[in-house]
Chains A and B, each alone.
Chain A
Amino acid sequence: MLLLIPLFPLVGFVVNACLGRRLTKSISGGLACAAMIASFAVSALLVSRILGHDAAPLEFTLFEWMTSGTLHVPFTLRLDHLAAVMILVVTGIGSLIHIYSTGYMHEESDSEYARYFSYLNLFASFMLILVLGANFPVMFVGWEGVGLCSYLLIGFWFRKQSAADAGKKAFVVNRVGDFGFVLGMLLIFATFGTLDFQLVAAAADTRAIEHGAIGVITAATLLLFLGATGKSAQIPLYVWLPDAMEGPTPVSALIHAATMVTAGVYMIGRNAVLFSHAPITLSMVAAIGVATALMAGTIGLVQNDIKRVLAYSTVSQLGYMFLAMGVGAFAAGIFHLYTHAFFKALLFLGSGAVIHALAGEQDLRNMGGLKKYLPVTYWTFLIGALAIAGVPLLSGFFSKDEILFKTFTATNPNRLLLWGIGMVTSLLTATYMFRLVFLAFHGERRVTAHGSAHPEEEEPVAQTGHAQAAAVAHHDSHGHGHGHAHAPHDAPPSMAIPLIVLAIGSVVAGYVGVPHALGGSNRIEQFLEPSFEVSDGRGRLEAAGGGAQSSEPAGVRPVALQESHAPDATESSHDNTSTELMLMALSSGVALAGIGIAWYFWLRNREAVAAMTARFHGPYTVLLHKYYVDELYDAAIVQPIKLLSTGGLWKGADAGLIDGAVNGVGQTVRATSGVLRRAQTGSVRTYAASLFLGVVLILGWYLLKTLRT
């Protein structure tokens, strides 16, 4: 049963990959959607079985995968509470993105369309394996699989140079992180002798917490975290994600919301016990998370490409999730991951609808006034923006507040700094999101005649004349015969329905985690609790003693962090409630202030923006160039590697050493024979003389020998 969850999309992939060329669009697209929905249904059914707090995880072992000495790795899938949240997100949001894609990708030729859906299904399948894997190697299968699929999908329009490059970049940058993941995995096996998550957690739990010392757990978790930074686009490996915008927009939604980038956060949550035994790693995670959040937030403020703004907002929100992980608020991080999946998918699909309506226009400066033409897109997009900005009572508010609150009350010595940067980022988030909304949907329409080419999707070499014609005529009119100068039209039903569903989700998704301060019971935290503890229940008992039944928010934390943080239950709960309410009011204020700033600058007084950019020209340029990180990496890593490869490895080692050895052997033989062939005089007499001389010498020698004895 458990196997069916990743199997459905896999079957969809196989069918579409093998037969896709011969299937019509409705069949290949419908099959892909059906596979995802079936997977979602199975997921929902199975999750309902483990809803209880004490329900044991479901497990299914497919086969013994590796057995060698003490290494023993079964191919096991395990569904616990943490995985439950993840598979619902992956299959649920994934299904909506599939449905949306049937509309968005409609202009592709049949075979391209099938190729697209086969990749999409494979992506979902690998992500589900990643989530359900019960040990590191199985997770790694999914981990690498999503890396592969992101490469395939980002480079989907591979005839376009920039798309192919972006795919390669994503793949290479991810490899760097994967290297860390593999090393961490090996270190864990060497230390604990097992790779099963539960067993590793149990084994780690018996060891001392590595306070202030870099021990083996710290080393292993740091390596794993390197893997997480690659997948989840954190400093220093976030550079691939903004470039990933070269892929089709639904792919961006899939990568950013439901799959891929959440893998790193999930992996840390999956190893919560391990990570909480390494305080150094945790503070590192928090620091990197918050630095990424701030950095991406500032870059997002000045970008002009609608999808790039969203990409940086994803990086920024992922930073929040890592911040939560870093302060030990694992449940809050997963909660944010879950709400973020809704509104980020919504925002990406909404931006896709805008791009679709404007024939591929992605530049915010050429938008404006779209509210009138795209009502569905506008209202859903607005809800998404409100949710991500953290406006009260929407989903983003609950999860983001939870993270900020947990940061504020964390044991981390720099908690106030972390919290402060988190708040600034929150302000930035609200500002850049509403800058996007105001620039795209409000104000006067700045859209001039759209170019006929679809910059995102043009195909320089179309396979057939038909496809070429379609590529020119397609995206703006969606086959309704609109000319280019016509008013943009709203999303077709296949795209509008997912938008509406996601908008509803963005509003209500947060209500599973209403904090105690607002009279809720934070059910998601309680639900996830068992996943972050050692499965023997010791942690749970302790948590209960610490007041998990009351509103003690630290109750969810793994044993490790709680030791130094065991306040009196009733008093602290009272204190925390007032603190939490205060923080909530503060962050709501910040969110509204951010929206206000955006409103002032980009709606009311556009000249102020120009004045500001003129005044702060230096910082503005730096932000516009994304802190020159790409340039820095190019100069510091890419060019030296190129130099080393060209000068050292290619011309030195390959051409010089290897080819040199081969050619050298030939040349030595040639030179030697050049000397030796002088002996071949061609004179019969000489040959005869040497023959004779040789015989005489040999015989003489034997003769001498005989005479001696």
Chain B
Amino acid sequence: MVPLTVNHYLALSGVLFAIGTAGVFLRRNLITVLLSIEIMLNAVNLTFVAVGRYRGSVDGQIITFFVMTVAAAEAAVGLALIIALFRHRETLSPDAFTALKW
């Protein structure tokens, strides 16, 4: 069995990030989009932890905690916004919200 190196972690993280990105662009439900963003964030978290361990420092873990708290706040605000938007338009498709256009 091949020992796990930092490259494996980075590859997994890249796959997760790509999945998240694809989710953000392709899904037509705002809640799923939010979930995809969480996946992207966690892909980055994984990178931080992996690289932190590889370099033997705790910085990566510290930053991960920060990201997690911010992500929690972001999820709370994002969900609240989504609820407000849904009340407004009776839909969760991102294409329905184009009021900011010319």
Contact = CB atoms under 8 A, between A and B. Distances in A.
A688 B95 contact: no
B54 interface: no
B89 to A, nearest CB: 13
A692 B95 contact: no
Nearest to B98: A682
A682 B94 contact: no
A677 to B, nearest CB: 4
A683 B94 contact: yes
A143 B63 CA distance: 85
A689 interface: yes
Interface residues of A, number: 11
B21 interface: yes
A689 B101 CA distance: 16
Given A689-B25, A692-B21, A684 B99 contact: no
Interface string B1-41: 00000000000000000000100110000000000000000
Interface residues of B, number: 11
A367 B22 CA distance: 109
Interface string B82-102: 000000000000110111111
Contacts, number: 27
14 contacts: A678-B102, A680-B101, A680-B102, A681-B98, A682-B97, A683-B94, A683-B95, A684-B94, A685-B25, A685-B94, A688-B24, A688-B25, A692-B21, A692-B25
Contacts of A677: 102
Interface string A315-340: 00000000000000000000000000
Contacts of B98: 681-683
A362 to B, nearest CB: 74
A683 B101 CA distance: 8
A677 B100 CA distance: 11
Interface of B: 21, 24-25, 94-95, 97-102
Nearest to B95: A683
Nearest to A687: B100
A680 B100 contact: yes
A121 B99 CA distance: 75
A682 B101 contact: yes
Nearest to A684: B94
A200 B78 CA distance: 91
Contacts of B101: 680-683
Contacts of A678: 102
Contact of A682 (B21, B24, B25, B99): B99
Contacts of B21: 692
Nearest to A685: B94
A681 B94 CA distance: 13
B101 to A, nearest CB: 3
Interface string A326-357: 00000000000000000000000000000000
Given A682-B97, A683-B98, 5 more contacts: A678-B102, A684-B97, A689-B25, A692-B21, A692-B25
Contacts of B94: 683-685
A684 B24 CA distance: 10
Nearest to B101: A682
A684 B99 CA distance: 10
A685 B100 CA distance: 13
